Structure 1
Amino acid sequence: MMREANFAGKSEKLKSSEPPAFDLVAMDIDGTLLNSEHEVPQENLAAISAVRSAGVLATLVTGRSTFSLVPVFEQIDLDIPYICSGGAEITDPSTGESIDRRVIARSDLEFIVTTARECKIAMFFSLPDGIYYEAPPGSREDWTPSRAYQVIKVEDILSENTAKAVKIALYGDPDRLSQIETTIRQHGPAVHLAYPLEVFLDVTHEDANKGAALIRLVNHLDVSLEKTLAIGDADNDLSMFNVAGLSIAMGNAAPQVKAAADRIAPTNDENGVAWALREIVLSQNNG
């Protein structure tokens, strides 16, 4: 049975008036659009189709790289640019070309890699030709590889062509990730750090996060940020919650994410995205 949505929220402006009709819906993928079986429920697909028919644009905003989006794009078609790699890239789905890319400087990469090796933390690099993986001795290696794309394991990630690296996903136990996060913040370069999951810490360019990328995408599409709806479930969604006109946290989101949202939807296994699109977007745009 679908749980009742909680309409409590952070935004004072919404207490005095209803949110405006929407121009754009920006949806996170894992824990949001996808259910726990990593599938896009048919109810979500139908709701996305309905908002498009109503003249509302819909896109994805994800920490995943383009390569790891292959199984998602087998289930959903996009007709406008999407945000990936935690905000480091905005990509045109019709051409596969990047509209905007924020590359991590080589000196910053060297610091992150050296520190990760010392902390025994595995690293995934998102590069233009694939996802590369280095596992220092003693690091956690229990991740499950995808059948949809290849992850290339190397002994020394810095020996690869990292000139266009946009994201480093650090993989390890939460305590080790907390340790390296502290080290980077205290002694490292000015980069953006975000947790898409408790066992992953994403490192991107200091100007690369979901919120900053959403602003760039809205400008590219020439739509209103105030009329943009953001839906997500994790800490790395908070930056887009802060800039979107309305934010919705999934029912399965962490407490701090729910506290930052304007609305709370049912969980990803209860078709929370479909609920948000029907009850918030379609009701406003058709009202």
Structure 2
Amino acid sequence: MAIKLAAIDIDNTLLTSAPERKLTTENIQSIQQALQLGIKIVLCSARPLAGVKRFLKQAGITSNDQYVIVDNGALVQTVTGKTLATHTLAQQTVSQLAQLCQQNHWHYNAIDSTSTMCTTDMRVGFYTVQLAAKYQAPLQVFDHIADFSQRTFAKFGITEVPEILDEIEPEIQQKFGSSYYVVRSRPFLLEVLDQDANKGQALTDLAQELRLKKQETMAIGDEINDLPMFKAAELGVSMGNGVPAVKKAADHITDDNDHSGVGKALHKFILDL
């Protein structure tokens, strides 16, 4: 059965390595050729939508009938921001986490469905500012946790130096790990998400929305958080720079991210058939 949707991770998959972090010409051309054939090209990222928009524009993924999976699967949205599926945090959970951070003087932020990073941490913190810049997301500091009400939050992050997070992580896992997805996504970032917030569940949600069968989907990635996509898709493609677990789980290994592995995979499984 022909592939009609390709779910593609961004960092170290679609983009070249740091510090450039750019789309190669081959990747752009391959994506645009696929779009012309009516293929859905779905960028999937732990970033919020604000942090994905410039790559969507560069790749030419701009029409209202194209989609993204953001915040590690907490939200499935159109590229223009309409939300189709959510696996978000309850307001009570965000308030509980924020109060815990306040009591312990930990830097934190909660990202809402509009890509706004919210906090009551007046000190803000270096890593929070760094993430906001990377995500190109507005950072809003509130006076009280109660001011968070009426917002839908995709994920909650504690941002501290690695040594402090090493101490914090067991406590957060113990308190929240049984009911939520708690992940150390970076040395300086510990995140709490809904238990079903992963790229695989989001891909399944989107495929159902588009009435596509699993056999009509493929996924391309390089990291552990891409593995759920491989399970949800018919075809899992690891980047040449993928971690060992991803390569082991993949049906195919393409070139690395600095040599247009995404473009090569699109040619092999869609464009050249």
2:44 pairs with 61, 64, 72, which one? 61
SS in 1 for 2:229: helix
The residue number in structure 1 matching 2:9 is 28
SS in 2 for 1:184: helix
Q: 1:235 to 1:169 in 2, by over 3 A?
A: farther
Higher RCO (CA < 8 A, seq sep 6+): 1
The residue number in structure 2 matching 1:11 is none
Identity over the aligned pairs, expressed in percent?
A: 28
1:224 pairs with 213, 229, 245, which one? 213
More helix by share: 2
Q: Does residue 269 of the first structure (1) align with residue 258 of the second (2)?
A: yes
Shift of 1:150: 4.5
SS in 1 for 2:52: helix
Q: Is the 8 A contact 1:117 1:136 kept in 2?
A: no
Q: Distance in 2 between matches of 1:239 and 1:156?
A: 38
State how 1:225-264 maps to structure 2 within 5 Å.
Answer: 225-264=214-253
Q: Is the 8 A contact 2:118 2:142 kept in 1?
A: no
The residue number in structure 1 matching 2:116 is 130
Q: 1:139 to 1:245 in 2, by over 3 A?
A: same
The residue number in structure 2 matching 1:13 is none
State how 1:53-92 maps to structure 2 within 5 Å.
Answer: 53-78=36-61, 79-92=65-78
Q: Is the 8 A contact 2:182 2:190 kept in 1?
A: yes
1:152 pairs with 139, 159, 178, which one? 139
Shift of 1:30: 1.4
Number of residue pairs matched by the alignment: 264
Shift of 1:196: 4.4
Q: Distance in 2 between matches of 1:235 and 1:220?
A: 25
Q: Distance in 2 between matches of 1:158 and 1:240?
A: 34
Q: Does residue 106 of the first structure (1) align with residue 83 of the second (2)?
A: no
Q: Distance in 2 between matches of 1:235 and 1:93?
A: 25
Q: Is the 8 A contact 1:121 1:136 kept in 2?
A: no
Q: Is the 8 A contact 1:67 1:131 kept in 2?
A: no
Shift of 1:65: 0.9
Q: 1:187 to 1:125 in 2, by over 3 A?
A: closer
SS in 1 for 2:26: helix
Q: Distance in 1 between matches of 2:270 and 2:183?
A: 28
Q: 1:281 to 1:165 in 2, by over 3 A?
A: same
SS in 1 for 2:215: coil
TM-score (norm: length of structure 1): 0.79
SS in 2 for 1:207: coil
TM-score (norm: length of structure 2): 0.82
Q: 1:251 to 1:164 in 2, by over 3 A?
A: same
